[in-house]
Structure 1
Amino acid sequence: MRYGNENRVAVFFEKSDDLIARIKKIDGARWSQTLKVWHLPDTEEHRVRFKIAPQLSNLPSTEGIENIEKFKQWMRSKRYSDRTVTTYSEALKYFLVFYREKPLTGITNEDVIMYNNEYILKNKLSASYQNQIVNAIKLFFQTIRDTKILVDKIHRPKRGKVLPNVLSKEEIKLILNAHSNLKHSMMLSLIYSCGLRCGELLALEPVHIDSKRNIVLLKNAKGKKDRIAPLSPKILEMLRNYYAVFKPEKYLFEGQIKGQPYDARSLQLLLKQALQKAGIAKPVTLHWLRHSYATHLLESVTDL
């Protein structure tokens, strides 16, 4: 699979705290929230370890490669995010590899069903991943003329009803108090107290903090939509102390280079360190803090 600008090895397995803990110990292992899959650096060691066959011949036909490139250009012209362009084009590539001997104009809805059965289900890939591929196929064939595909009749997998991962208030307190560094504590506290996504936090600028209205302005959040989040007086006071000490230039949370946003991987590492200090063994991700925020509001009978 392609993730960002590098090749990665996707690893699929049944959800298990033990397996998650084991894969997290592998150097370079990362979780993709978009694809709902763990992935590792594409090295010979990992290919042998997970019994992955060489993929030199696993390319679509020349027609497929040309159309994938056109599809990328179309998505970029429609202002899809770089991550969506990468995710959809990679998903489409696997589909077109499966039908590399068949012209695009000859692919039908029955072929999509066969792909789901002979590739997705046979390889025990997740419903989330199947849904991602269906999205890519539907969007691609909407842009292709002279096709036998009836886009509206492409069915997607039934979504399972999965409860979000939630931490207790006591566990949240331990995590937020784990770091003595003001910046580290501030970032984790803001994610939880405002229910932010990782990307939303790292894109924040000082001007997005509206202290008079006690809100945070989130520009170009998921789906390129702006939204606001409430800001508690306690967090606002912490932010004032943080700003006085660090004096950020462009982004509210900057890395070692002034004017550059804090690195997402470093933020994930901060959480991992906080969990170790707090003695919490659960495979917590930054998104767990967001889920916990929403759940704790509901438990407190907050007016939606």
Structure 2
Amino acid sequence: MNANEHARFQALHQRYLTELTLRGKSPKTIDLYTRCLRQVCDYFETCPDQLSTDQLQQYFMHLVEHRSWSLVKIARNALQSFYQYVLGKPWEYVPIVKAPKVQTLQDVLSLKEVERLISRTRKLSYQVYFLTTYSLGLRLSESLNLTIADVDSHLMRVHVRCGKGKKDRFVPLPLMTLKALRRYWATHRHPDLLFPGWHPREWPSVSPPPASPG
């Protein structure tokens, strides 16, 4: 791109960034979408508002051949939102990207495999973390974000906050997991987090006496 095109791209990029932010998109989504916009511009060395249908077909053919279907879908969504939010144009190129319908089953560890994983882990923190993640059916980040207040030992459930789709949910709490969490928490007695050593938040310098999970 020449100097004028580069300046126009920067202006469009900033407008797109502003629109995504105002529409409540997460920082991760904003980063992915704006990166996809920059990549298609770099591919053709032109501004996105100058792309033709043939160019978009060529670009997505390149993605289909060399990238994962998940990335193809992200690029499609990024360009679609750019056309709608910034250019004020309807997206007319969705049919050029059609992911194959493949149904797969996720690999699930058997009970013996989980027992072997935990038994071969020496540190108590890892043992309790793996047990919590598996027994509650959580994602890794969801386990790390658990707090003492999320554990309800009376109703025997755990409040999982901001999961997939930024949605909260409750999951059953096995008695074995509750006992393990209490045993591990007694080793660090953090006033808020269940797994403080792995969490980016800092410990508070001054805090009231902590309460045990549940």
Bigger radius of gyration among the two: 2
Match of 1:293 in 2: none
Aligned to 2:183: 241
Which runs of 5 or more structure 1 residues have no equivalent in the other structure?
Answer: 1-56, 262-304
| CA distance in structure 1 between the partners assigned to 2:176 and 2:198 by the alignment | 27
Give, in angstroms, the shift of residue 218 of structure 1: 1.1
- Cα deviation code 1:68-88 (max 9, x no counterpart): 232222222223222221122
How far is 1:115 from its partner? 0.9
Q: Output the CA distance in 1 between the equivalents of 2:20 and 2:27.
A: 9
How far did 1:125 drift?
Answer: 1.3
| Deviation of 1:135 (Å) | 1.6
The one of 15, 39, 44 equivalent to 1:94 is 39
Deviation per residue, 1:132-189 (Å, 9 max, x gap): 2112111221202354742665644224323312323221111122223222111111
Which amino acid in the other structure matches residue 13 of structure 2?
I
Matches within 5 A, 1:1-304: 61-101=6-46, 104=49, 106-117=50-61, 119-122=62-65, 124-147=66-89, 149-150=91-92, 155-255=97-197, 260=202
Over 3 Å counting, the alpha-carbon distance change for 1:126 and 1:257 in structure 2 is closer
CA-to-aligned-CA distance 1:96-128 (integer Å, 9 cap, x gap): 222333560x434443222111x2134x21112
CA pair 78-251 structure 1, distance change in 2 beyond 3 A: farther
* TM-score normalised over the length of structure 2: 0.81
DSSP 3-state at the match of 1:255: helix
More helix by share: 2
| Cα distance, 1:256 vs structure 2 | 7.5
Supply the RMSD in Å over aligned alpha carbons. 2.7
TM-score with structure 1 setting the length: 0.59
**Residue type matched to 2:56 in 1?**
V
1:54 counterpart residue number? none
Secondary structure in structure 2 of the residue aligned to 1:61: helix
Amino acid in structure 2 at the alignment position of 1:242: Y
Paired letter, 1:67:
L
Cα-to-partner distance string for 1:55-76 (whole Å, 9 max, x where unaligned):
xx9xx83322332232222222
> Percent identity between the aligned chains?
23
Q: CA deviation at 1:237?
A: 1.1
Alpha-carbon distance in structure 1 between the residues aligned to 2:105 and 2:154:
36
What CA deviation, in whole Å up to 9, does each residue of 1:264-292 have, x standing for no partner? xxxxxxxxxxxxxxxxxxxxxxxxxxxxx
CA deviation profile, 1:208-228 (whole Å, cap 9, x unmatched): 111111111011112111111
- Contact in 2 for aligned 1:61/1:97 (Cα 8 Å): no
Aligned length: 200
> Which structure dedicates a bigger proportion of its chain to strand?
1
Q: How far does residue 247 in structure 1 lie from its aligned partner after superposition?
A: 0.7
